[in-house]
Amino acid sequence: MAQATRRGILAVVTAIVLLALGAGVGVVLGDALGIRTEPSAQMTPAAPVAPASATVVLPPEFTEVEAPDTERMRVALESLSDAAAAASGTAGAASLTVVTGAGDPADETYELTGTPDALRVEAAGEDGAVRGVYDLAAQIRAGRSVAERLGETVSSRLPLRMVDMGAVAVELDPAEWEAGTDYSHASKAFADVILADAPYIDQESLADAYADFDAFLRHSLANGYNAVAFPGLVEFLTFDDMQVYAAGDDHRAKALALRDAFAPMWERADELGVKVFLRTDMLTLTTPLEQYLTDRFGSLDTENADLWDVYAAGLDELYAAEPALDGVLIRIGEAGRVYDVDGWDVYSKLAVTSVDAVRAMLQTLTPQAEGADREVIFRSWSVGVGAVGDMHTSDASYDAVLGGIDSPALIVSTKYTLGDFYSWLPLNTTLAQGDQRRIVEFQSRREFENFGAFPNDLGTQYQFALQELLAANPKIEGVWTWTQDGGPWRAGPMTLYLKAGFWQLYELNTVLAADLARDPDADVARILQDWARQWFSEDPATVDAIVGAMTLSRPAIEQGMYIQPFAEQRVFAIGLEPPPMMWIFEWDILTGDSAVLDVLYAISRDATGGDIDAAIAGGAQAVADAETMRDLISSTDPATWRDASLRDAFTGTMDYEVDVLRLLTSYRAMILHQAQWHDTLSPDAYATWQSDRDRFEALAAQHVETYAGDIDFPAFNLTAAELGVQRADRDLAMAWTARVLLLLAGLWLVIGMVSSRTRLVRRPGAAAARAAWLGATRPWRARESTLGMLGTDRVLLIGIPAALLVGTRAVQTSFLSWTHLALTLGAWLVFALVVRLLVGRRSPWPVIAAVGGVIVLRCILTLLALSFTGPGGYWFAFWTEPVPRTLYIAVAFALFVWVFVAAGWALSTQLGARRATGVVLTGVGGGLAVPAAVVAFIGLERALTLWNDEMGLLPWGLARILGITVYLDIPVSAAWYAVGVGLVVAAVGVLLTLPRRSRISAT
């Protein structure tokens, strides 16, 4: 009796300890999830306005032009001539005289003097003189008088105005856009120019690329830009001083061939007064370079300054050979396969992830740039990976990374939003700090707002941002506008800047960024009107309709593509800062995962005081705004448009936007009402969800039928959403299935509890239920409880827990995740087989009773959680309810560990404590190592992707874009580590199971 009491007390103490440990695990997990919000300080730009109609002023015929005889001036005068030729006529004649003084040639200031028929541009240097001519051309294209600025001195507030490469040398291949599932970020620019083998360059394609580049330079200069980010770096480096490439290595020969091919482009840019910065990710590598760095430094040790000396030496050689280059533009925050081009031995790795690594890089490359009279533009952008993952949004991290690095050759480039190019984000506060020179990044073709396929006038927002930032930081000296780049190139519409599709739509934002960089107080409504005149029509009524539509473009996107109560919050989770969109993850994928949608609902619920209809209403308003925009464009007279195809494109894009926003509005209602049912258990919420689901499915089918395969207006990717609907459809059935299983499991439990005190013990199966109950709660009695069991009882002792385990896991996954079932049940099967093998000739029934009994208890806990609203409700509580989550984890963890404690305790009556422990450890090690080995052979990323696709816990697009392991910072070797741990545990277990040698005394 005393021994039984001691065992009981020990069991209670063990249970309490396990529960405490489980609670600790729950707290740690909650802390790791780190789901919290804080109010987001929204930007407050002025409301867009439509300016009064104005009559088009025809340009004069320039009968006499006197200007400096330089190539830059010649190209500027061609722009002026082209603008006049494109006008609908001329009015009168005029002369133009351009005078350049002996002042600073880089000074863009000029004065327009003379008379309307004898204009004179007076500038201190060539930059100002050329800019004056381009401004006259811009006035003509906008239908304004060339004498409008007569008597004014014109200057540019920000001297550096950079663009990306647009769609230069990107091949027009509609087949690459048709599927809409290519999420590669590689532009594939120059893909048809660069050959795999000698002579490495296709000269015909190179000539076409040069013409492409020249046209892009001319257009960008006319828009007000004077710098370009040219893709590539390591492919141009020979590393001769470091002897990276062995004699005869074709990497060196190819680098020299590429230099020879692209040097004329760089020289052309220099000739036209455009700076060229080579744009690269770090680490940028080739196979021999990576091998060289690894051999020399032991690894890709980016915290070692000597590693960066290799890159510095390569840059010295390049700058000496190519004087037209002005520096490098470096990003560390994204890299890897999503940017790599198949067939090229040029790739990048996300390896610069610590403060020390960034500082080592900059403290090596900036002195190199100073010595070479070049510049280093360092992007503060990062996607949350590593210790520097938040330097783009955190003042403290920015200071930690860049504090004290004040090289005059360093320019830090930062997006204007506190995050990526989304709406509803605050102004980026890190742009107001630091001693470095700064430039501000803008994106014309907004990748997250359907790749610029919708009207999206960012004028007032850009102006607010620049005015606020310039007032806060006088070290801001420029902008970098992405005319085309950002996100996947071939997952959205095939709009290629200056080349294909309705690119004129987002040209507005390119012009806005340049005009505001030159004059932050410029009239953005007038810029909008000028854009409409230049590209679409000179007719006042048509221009007014276009401008009126564009003034509604921001509200339509802000309300239609975002859920305002969520978007207004700054959200933090798993050490990252999720963007304000999230339900579209990313670009064109409607997500269907529980983590995002449940948290989105909870935040929206709390922000609206539980009024979910308020969160839904924004979608309806967005549709109404888009319909008004469509009506305005459709009401215009086709005969008043410059080009009928542009009117067709505009009306087509408005039909497309209305359709997409209707689809999104129905989806928003569906996901919010679904979560509301999980939250409140309200039958009305469930009925509303069913109605929403039917509407969404109808609109989704119509959307896909209309736009699937359309390269101009592609259908959204609805795969993840449809998977989410499939799971949601099963929730109620799974809840009822869980209730039935819970009832049966509870009955089995009750039979086991009471059978020893009633006649029930004589019934078939009662002895098995009693053995399972005793084995689970008093495992030291498992052996006695299994003595004399009949065959039927033994079958039930195995069959009931096994069937319950399979049923519970199947219900938990809505019968949709066979991967989850296979791994879970496989691990248990390996454990059971190992234990059975080691038990040998001894009876296995005591350990079977103990393990099976605890499995029943563990299944009852899970079934209870599933019985409310099915797996959807289970995960809803997990993501959004910290207290229930912690309590559940505490009990679940305690029961999980108790399985092995009970198994060991039951075995100890047969084998002794040491050997029993060894048997259990061997089984645990095997149960961990074997499934982990399967995952490792499959590949961790692939296995996680397959599992997540079936479970729907994390965004479906995560694996298609960055990769789950990259995003969550999980080492790709983690599965092999698990195999190693399992084998070590199993080895320890085997050692413990070995019998001790008998001691023989020597006499």
pLDDT along the chain (1003 residues), means of 10: 78 93 94 89 91 90 95 97 94 96 89 96 95 97 95 96 97 91 89 92 96 98 98 95 92 95 98 97 94 95 96 97 98 71 81 93 97 97 77 92 94 96 96 95 97 97 98 97 94 95 97 98 97 96 96 97 95 84 92 95 94 94 98 97 96 98 98 97 97 98 96 95 96 97 95 75 81 93 88 93 96 94 94 94 94 96 97 96 95 96 93 93 95 94 92 88 79 92 95 73 38
User: Based on the number of CB atoms within 10 Å of its own CB, is 899 exposed (0-12), middle (13-18) or buried (19 or more)?
Assistant: buried
Contacts of 914 (CB under 8 A, 6+ apart): 992
Backbone phi, psi, residue 359, to 5°: -65, -40
The angle, 0 to 180 degrees and rounded to 10, between the axes of the packed helices 126-141 and 71-86 is 10
Contact criterion met (CB below 8 Å) for 34 and 573: yes
pLDDT at residue 340 in the model: 61
Q: Is 391 helix (H, G, I), strand (E, B) or coil?
A: coil
Cα–Cα dist 194/198, whole Å: 10
The predicted structure's pLDDT at residue 764: 76
Kindly write down the DSSP assignment for every residue of 524-587, as one continuous string.
HHHHHHHHHHHHTBS-HHHHHHHHHHHHTHHHHHHHHSS-HHHHTEEEEBTTB---S--SB-ST
Structure tokens at 675: 């979560």
Q: How far is CA 649 from the centre of its chain?
A: 29
The pLDDT score that the predictor gives to residue 1001 is 41
Q: Which of 976, 972, 979 is nearest to 944 (CA)?
A: 972
Any bridge partners for residue 98, and if so which?
121
Determine the pLDDT at residue 1002.
Answer: 41
Displacement of CA 788 from its chain's centroid (Å): 62
Which residues in 335-366 are b (16+ Cβ under 10 Å) and which e? bbebbbeeeebbbbbbbbbebebbbbbbebbb
- Rounded Cα–Cα distance for residues 929 and 925 (Å): 6
**What's the maximum distance between 2 C-alpha atoms anywhere in the chain?**
131
CB atoms inside a 10 Å sphere around CB 36: 11
Dihedrals phi, psi of 331, to nearest 5 degrees: -120, 140
Tokens of residue 272, six digits = 């036209």
* Dist. CA 431–CA 418, nearest whole Å: 9
| Peptide bond preceding 231 in cis form (omega within 30 of 0) | no
Task: Yes or no: say if 81 and 115 are a contact pair by the CB < 8 Å rule.
Answer: no
Helix axes 940-951, 913-938, angle to 10 degrees: 90
Q: Exposed/middle/buried for 465, CB within 10 Å: 0-12, 13-18, 19+?
A: buried
Q: How far apart are CA 317 and CA 855, in angstroms?
A: 68
To the nearest 10 degrees (0 to 180), the angle between helices 870-880 and 845-866 is: 80
Instruction: Give 3-state DSSP helix, strand, coil % of the chain, rounded to 5.
Output: 60, 10, 30
